[in-house]
Amino acid sequence: MAQRRILHDEYFKKAKAEGYLARSAYKLKEIQERHHLLRAGKSVVDLGCAPGSWLQVASQIVGPKGLVVGIDLQPVAQEIAPNVRTIEGDIFKTDPTALLPDPDAKFDIVLSDMAPNTSGHGDDALSVRLCRRVLELLPALLAPRGACVMKVLEGSGYSELLKDCQRLFSRAKGLKPKASRDASREIFIVAEGYKGTVSVPITPPPKPPPGWGRP
């Protein structure tokens, strides 16, 4: 238990010292160090972007010639950078074309650090549903050969979700960054080489999760 508290303190203090809005910035930074998905001049959409730490990391890497668009149920209180714009909205209701930088241009990378409002019961299934919503949005948002990074809670439905990602992309694998808490079941699916033409059957539950955000 003491070990987990030390880990939390390390990344929490580091985020404060380096000006990031949340410790989750270091999860994306590690994924970037391993996979180099983000590059200067690229366009990125962050689904579930509040409080804005992933926007900060993406903005720094894509630079002034790149673009980062974020959407969340909650507003992003802090202005990030000139190359970042945010929308307050629900990914289950918002028209995905409203996120596009241009009607004829799709994003190079789709990011999602979303998590359901956790209750301790069925959280993994709700998390998978959020990820399946991301997959539903890919044809409208992601350019062919693009990449996707999304968080999911390991448990019910994870294996099937990963297999579907492997059908949609040339490569897809799970990764748990060091900045994730030891007790957390979160894992990030990192997928590269979007095929764009492969359809994956989606079986939604009767209604979408009651809420989502970053716990």
Sheet holding 43-47, edge to edge: 84-88, 67-72, 43-47, 107-112, 142-153, 186-194, 169-175
**Ranges assigned E (strand) in the chain:** 43-47, 67-72, 84-88, 107-112, 115-116, 142-153, 169-175, 186-194, 212-213
Q: 15 lies in a domain? A: no
Q: 207 lies in a domain? A: no
Residues constituting the chain = 215
Count of structural domains within the chain: 1
Q: 210 lies in a domain? A: no
- Statement: residue 6 has pLDDT above 60: no
Name which of 125, 141, 148, 140 is nearest 208 in CA terms. Answer: 125
Q: Residue 115: its pLDDT value, please? A: 86
* Cβ within 8 Å of residue 135, ≥6 positions away: 164, 165, 168, 200, 202
Mean pLDDT score, 130-155: 95
For the chain, give the percent of residues with pLDDT over 70.
Answer: 80
Q: 75 lies in a domain? A: yes
The tens digit of pLDDT for each residue in 47-79 reads 999 999 999 999 999 999 999 999 999 999 889
Using CA atoms, how far residue 15 sits from 22, 23, 47, 64, 214, in Å, is 6, 5, 21, 23, 16
- Statement: residue 1 has pLDDT above 70: no
Q: 14 lies in a domain? A: no
Name which of 214, 210, 202, 54 is nearest 133 in CA terms. Answer: 202
- Statement: residue 124 has pLDDT above 80: yes
| Cross-strand bridge partners of residue 111 | 46, 149
- Statement: residue 173 has pLDDT above 60: yes
Q: Residue 91: its pLDDT value, please? A: 95
Give me the catalytic one of 13, 42, 151, 178: 151
Residue 205 three-state SS: coil
Q: 16 lies in a domain? A: no
Q: 114 lies in a domain? A: yes
Q: Residue 179: its pLDDT value, please? A: 81
What is the overall mean pLDDT for the chain?
86
Question: CA 37 to CA 189: how far, in whole Å?
Answer: 13
For the chain, give the percent of residues with pLDDT over 90.
Answer: 65
Q: Of the ranges 27-41, 115-129, 131-145, 157-171, which one carries the lowest mean pLDDT score?
A: 115-129
Mean pLDDT score, 80-105: 94
Which CATH number covers residue 80?
3.40.50.150
Mean pLDDT score, 126-150: 96
CA atoms within 13 A on the CB side of 101: 20
The whole model's pTM is what? Answer: 0.87
Q: 205 lies in a domain? A: no
Taken in order 52, 43, 115, 33, the sign of the CA dihedral is: negative
Instruction: Say whether 151 is catalytic.
Output: yes
Amino acid symbol at 150:
M
- For tokens 């960054």, name the residue: 177
Q: Residue 139: its pLDDT value, please? A: 95
- Statement: residue 182 has pLDDT above 90: no
Name the pLDDT band for 213 (thresholds 50, 70, 90).
Answer: very low
Name which of 46, 86, 81, 88 is nearest 65 in CA terms. Answer: 81
Residue 17 three-state SS: helix
Task: Supply the range of the domain harboring residue 66.
Answer: 24-198
Q: Residue 62: its pLDDT value, please? A: 98
